[in-house]
Structure 1
């Protein structure tokens, strides 16, 4: 079963972390990526740009409208993900807890129900 483990960043919280804590998160991602690659559970991972670099597109009455910024204006934002292929949901939750960001913010575990 495939699960998307989504990461969310709160810049205000991130700014309160020490350099050692931030480096721990960065290094932790390297260790986590190696762990799930070595175990064969890694499908893919991506880090995303901050909302200020985002475009939100809407089509209304056949006209395309482009807005700078994220769809939802909130302090925390979707910043990346891991896509894993695991035997059980419990394993996906176990992996989510190993992601270093989980000690500072939430990691969402969502089952993939369709792939094109």
Structure 2
């Protein structure tokens, strides 16, 4: 079963990893920040070893995004979203055996000040 994990965030300034730029993460004691980073690295390694990680990318500054809407013809506007403060910061494509495993991975990706969206890929 394939899923996309979409990381939504709003760091100021924009940068990756997004958590490093979020006040909610920055307010954690350094030991907790380091533990979260190590846990993320371990999860990534486990996913790669198990063949669950297909790929993923961090995305650039949302102020550089453009939206194309159809209004009789494609009209480009500033993006990435019409009215929101959170932006899609990056994504990972995973292939797992069960929905429970996908949710387990999504939980490990969520952190202070961020939202992780887990969505199945249409087969």
Q: Residues 5-20 of structure 1 correspond to what in structure 2 (within 5 A)?
A: 5-11=5-11, 14-18=22-26, 20=30
Once residues 76 and 86 of structure 1 are traced to their aligned partners in structure 2, the CA distance between those partners, rounded to angstroms, is 27
- Who is 1:67 aligned against? 77
Do the aligned partners of residues 25 and 46 (structure 1) sit closer, same or farther apart at CA in structure 2, a change above 3 Å counting?
A: farther
Match status 1:110 vs 2:119: yes
Structure-1-length-normalised TM-score: 0.78
Gaps of 5+ in 1: none
Selected match of 2:51 from 23, 35, 40: 40
Count residues with an aligned counterpart.
Answer: 111
Selected match of 1:95 from 79, 86, 105: 105
Quote how far apart the aligned CAs of 1:112 are. 0.7
Once residues 65 and 27 of structure 1 are traced to their aligned partners in structure 2, the CA distance between those partners, rounded to angstroms, is 44
Structure-2-length-normalised TM-score: 0.74
Gaps of 5+ in 2: 13-20
